[in-house]
Amino acid sequence: MICSLNRPIHCTPTLHVCTSASLVLSLLLAGSVRADEMLEEVTFVDKAGTEQTWNVRVLVQAADGGLLIEDRLGRIEAVVPQRLKERSPTTDSFAYLNADELERALQDELGAGFDVYQTPHYVICTNAGEAYARWTGNLLERLLRAFLLHWGRFGLELSAPDHPLPVIVLSGADDFAQFAARDAGPAVAATKGYYSLASNRIVLYDLTAGGGEGRPRSADDVARQVATSEFSVATVVHEATHQIAFNSGMHTRYADNPMWLTEGMAMYFETPDLKSRTGWRTAGQVNRPRLGRFREYLAAGRPEDSLVRLIASEERFRDPEAAPFAYAESWALTHFLIRRHREEFVAYLERLAAKPRLKWSTPEERLAAFRDAFNDDLDQLDRSLRQHIARMPRGRR
């Protein structure tokens, strides 16, 4: 997942890592967070020095006049007072673009060579061909249904997005790398896809490209070709889960969402179901790569304070050497809590979803909230977590 404003960068899903400290500080001091559903016209200078005019709703207004705004495409921008040029109210209510409007906006942005395919909940703009677009749309719709059904059975009230979600699918890895470098920075170019909190869209590429079989002629052809690329498909599912979670009521964009939770949730659904055309039977299955990495971490002498550090901050995710183990431990913790402390986990999710945007908890506050939700004795919880992992089979799901 990428947290970003004008130029997305890899970071934790907390705005204070990515944007202007002056805006965040003034927002914190103001103590006034509001969501204004009236449409406004806001003119500002972006970070590249270009003047922009957006039709927006104001999500947060700072004491010094700084704004957190969202436009009808779903883009979020933090505008400090020095970059704000003009703000004009309108008499219209805010509404996201409908599917046809979003289709035109994406085509205008990406230009010739891109076609658009709509599903009930997605608008997919692609130069990878119709077959791959339809396979992607089917995968995303199945995942969305499974996500909502899964949590509905557990008592968490979520809802399908009330506006279409944007998806960009590039024709291959090289095309993706060039686009991602411009859109999200060079570090993202080597990945297989990403979700941007700023633009609210996922960007992917055709996993069948370069395989020697030519462009697939049908969605069934795609399914056959990707059947041996489960790890690559897992990346698509991971990023799509982020987008669903932030648009179904589970997470709030630019609120204080602990990274262990957002990443753990994506990895919990990461096991793709490539055999079904309609359902999704693999949600919550053992994630073999993450399990293997966590067991490697345990064998290497996992520190006693590992769980505390994971819960308290995103520090481990920002360390390239520690990050793979932080991700693995996030999956392990999420899987453990869902399986062994389900009611408490659902209540914890509900409390986090209600947190306002741009209100950041201290490490001490995060730990206190976690202890309040699950167990004040984290040493005992950690022992139970390790026992849960030890019981998992090594050779099969």
pLDDT of residue 125: 98
pLDDT tens, the chain, 397 aa long: 765 333 232 333 332 334 444 444 344 444 443 445 899 999 999 988 999 999 999 999 999 999 999 999 999 999 999 999 999 999 999 999 999 999 999 999 999 999 999 999 999 999 999 999 999 999 999 999 999 999 999 999 999 999 999 999 999 999 999 999 999 989 899 999 999 999 999 999 999 887 656 677 777 887 777 776 677 788 899 999 999 999 999 999 999 999 999 999 999 998 866 666 655 667 888 999 999 999 999 999 999 999 999 999 999 999 999 999 999 999 999 999 999 999 999 999 999 999 999 999 999 999 999 999 998 899 999 999 999 999 998 754 4
Determine, yes or no, domain membership for 255: no
Q: Are residues 189 and 306 in the same domain?
A: no
Residue 5 lies in a domain: no
Q: Which of 202, 225, 248 is the last residue of a domain?
A: 225
Parallel, antiparallel or unpaired: strands 193-195 and 202-205: antiparallel
Tell me, yes or no, whether 115 and 183 share the same domain: yes
CA 141 – CA 240 distance, rounded (Å): 10
Same-domain status, 120 and 208: yes
What is the CATH number for 186? 3.40.30
**Same structural domain for residues 43 and 116?**
no
Residues 50 and 144 in one domain: no
Do the domain assignments include residue 124?
A: yes
Q: Is residue 279 part of a domain?
A: no
Question: H/E element holding 51?
Answer: strand 51-61
> What is the helix (H) or strand (E) element at residue 203, kind and residue range?
strand 202-205
158 with 183, same domain: the answer is: yes
Instruction: Count structural domains, the chain.
Output: 3
Element (H, E) at 67: strand 67-71
Four-CA torsion 180, 186, 190, 195, nearest 10 degrees: -50
Residues 75 and 185 in one domain: no
C-alpha separations of 384 from 260, 304, 333, 339, 379 in Å: 18, 14, 10, 12, 9
β-sheet bridge partners, residue 116: 125
Question: What CA–CA distance (Å, rounded) separates 52 from 102?
Answer: 19
DSSP-derived secondary structure letter, 317:
G
Give pLDDT tens digits for 317-346. Answer: 999 999 999 999 999 999 999 999 999 999
Give pTM, 2 decimals.
0.90
Domain end position, chosen among 69, 93, 117: 93
In a domain, 70, yes or no: yes
Question: Residue 97 has what pLDDT?
Answer: 98
Residue that finishes a domain, picked among 176, 197, 225: 225
Predicted pLDDT at 248: 98
Q: Is the domain of 139 the same as that of 57? A: no
Does residue 125 lie within any of the structural domains?
A: yes
CATH number of the domain encompassing residue 86: 2.30.30
> Within 13 Å of residue 49, how many CA atoms lie on the same side as its CB?
0
For residue 318, give the amino acid letter. R
Give 366-396 pLDDT, tens digit per residue.
999 999 999 889 999 999 999 999 999 875 4
Asked whether residue 9 is domain-assigned, the answer is no
Q: Specify whether 103 is located in the same domain as 192.
A: yes
Q: Note the residue count of the chain.
A: 397
Do 126 and 82 share a structural domain?
A: no
Indicate whether 350 belongs to any domain.
Answer: yes
Note whether 106 and 87 are same-domain residues.
no
| Full domain range(s) for residue 116 | 99-225
In this structure, are 81 and 113 located in the same domain? no
